[in-house]
Structure 1
């Protein structure tokens, strides 16, 4: 989701109460409130696909997937990740402090924010095992995973690769995540796939 107007600083309680009645979602960062604006259709398609994949896989798990409307709390800051998985079993109605996976779908306007400020904040979460950044305008998945020593490791995945969500025992083809997206990379990939199939017949 894109970040829009910045409002005057307010306290944490006023922010939480305001979110309950607001038609627009806001992130709360260091006392400042930022409105969230509408996203591109491919952003929504990728978010929906990732949520669907997680929800289907986690049907018989104690983990809960969330898409867009559930906040994550870090100290006194609140963010709205595009997709989360929470395996903590903790019950809060409007936010979680203990996600296992966070996924952000990137656009030109949000890329720097998600790769710097948000990543720095998310890496403070003790329960977080995987932070995933998915480009919407081209096919690239930047995947951060925390090893047994608590050190974050980066991998990058492209079409033809398989993304390992090891924290929930799931492997997903990059093509599946982007299957409803019509960006240049996907169109070229699908055309080549059709050509290869035709040659085999």
Structure 2
């Protein structure tokens, strides 16, 4: 879970200046700067696999796929967040206050970790749900081969769809399938240790 880097209220402009000067990434939620922790190699591999899989599926269509270095700005709450994968459909829209932050994602993906699972399922998802363009929120397990897709319905509610093992799961908003064999390719293998 992300921990506050400071306890006093920080304006968004102060956050942007702090983030620009920092060598590491931070999120901005409710006037607080939150550390964005790195994780283990499997987390990075699974995140890269999802980015590659979606990039391959969508490369000749009207979508853009971004990795974990791209910020999302939630205009309704003021939060500035870093998902693991972002998909945008059509024209890219940037935040008026932060020209490096996207405001119109269609799909957001978080690869869960022991530290961030509660935050990604709870507070972070609560912010993401306030993004009008968002149609699907994807959570990729770090413990087992399981992917959850929260899909927004026309009336505004969300429904959960799951896949596990070697199944595939549909990302209906972008018209593609996410194969778990590709998502978890080479993950959870016993690493070779160099002494």
Shorter-chain TM range is 0.7 to 0.9
In 1, distance between residues paired with 2:155 and 2:93? 28
Q: Is the radius of gyration larger for structure 1 or structure 2?
A: 1
Q: TM-score, normalised by structure 2?
A: 0.87
Report the Cα offset of residue 4 of structure 1.
4.3
In 1, distance between residues paired with 2:188 and 2:113? 15
The unaligned stretches of length 5 or more in structure 1 are: 185-201
- What are the equivalent positions in structure 2 for 1:93-108 lying under 5 Å apart? 93-108=99-114
C-alpha contact 2:146 2:163 (8 A) present in aligned 1? yes
In 2, distance between residues paired with 1:72 and 1:63? 16
In 1, distance between residues paired with 2:139 and 2:189? 17
1:23 alignment counterpart: 23
Question: Of 90, 99, 105, which residue of structure 1 is paired with 2:92?
Answer: 90
- What are the equivalent positions in structure 2 for 1:2-41 lying under 5 Å apart? 3-8=2-7, 9-41=9-41
Q: Relative contact order: is structure 1 or structure 2 higher (C-alpha 8 Å, sep ≥ 6)?
A: 2
* C-alpha distance 109-183 of structure 1, shift in aligned 2 (>3 A): farther
Residue correspondences, number: 183
Report the Cα offset of residue 84 of structure 1.
0.6
More helix by share: 1
